[in-house]
């Protein structure tokens, strides 16, 4: 349970703009069982600028599949409703939903002198702004005597569309190889 209140008083002169006064309430529940974690939360913000009500749910797994294999995974859903819009220019009520899934695996070889890691994330947003985003990454590290070798690659991409505008797409890739002597 969380409860935050902000109240302000102008001692002299005039405060230009919207009052900072706000009240935020949240209640949630977390469940833990071994490598599993689940969380649910309700949050509300009462404020003159952009009040909202939000629901959030998350499930996570962090554990070892074998003594040399570690796995991480999480899935999150957030629904946020703005009953009076976000400002005077956009006063209509609307809702946003964001769904995210991510995971990674790490595998050790040769008595932990070599490690292979891979991961991915996908996110989708629906509301006034619609979009999809993804990222992928992988790396290999190997310690041989005093040499430390590492190589990897990562990439991400997204497509976003706000209101009636044309979609905006971007992509990025990054590769590396490093040799270091200790």
Cα distances (angstroms) measured from residue 51 to each of 22, 42, 116, 144: 9, 14, 45, 57
Q: What does the pLDDT profile of the chain (182 residues) look like in tens digits?
A: 899 998 888 888 887 877 788 999 999 999 999 999 999 999 999 988 889 999 999 999 999 989 999 999 999 999 999 998 777 777 788 899 999 999 999 999 988 899 999 999 999 999 888 999 999 999 999 999 899 999 999 999 999 988 777 888 999 999 999 999 88
**Cα 46 to Cα 5: distance, rounded to the nearest angstrom:** 10
3-state secondary structure of 100: strand
Q: Give the pLDDT score at 10.
A: 81
């Amino acid at each position: 349970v969380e409860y935050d209140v902000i109240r302000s008083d102008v001692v002299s002169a005039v405060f230009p703009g919207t009052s900072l006064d706000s009240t935020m309430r949240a209640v949630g529940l977390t469940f833990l069982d071994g490598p599993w974690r689940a969380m649910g939360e309700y949050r509300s913000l009462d404020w003159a600028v952009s009040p909202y009500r939000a629901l959030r749910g998350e499930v996570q797994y962090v554990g070892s599949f074998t003594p040399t294999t570690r796995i991480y995974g999480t899935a999150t859903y957030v629904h946020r409703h703005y009953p009076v819009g976000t400002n005077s220019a956009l006063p209509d009520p609307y809702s946003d939903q964001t769904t995210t899934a991510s995971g990674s695996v790490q595998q050790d070889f040769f008595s932990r002198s070599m490690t292979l890691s891979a991961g991915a994330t996908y996110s989708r947003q629906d509301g006034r702004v619609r979009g999809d985003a993804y990222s992928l990454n992988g790396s290999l590290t190997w310690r041989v005597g005093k040499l430390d070798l590492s190589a990897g690659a990562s990439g991400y991409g997204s497509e976003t569309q706000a209101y009636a505008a044309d979609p905006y797409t971007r992509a990025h890739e990054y590769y590396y190889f490093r040799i270091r002597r200790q």
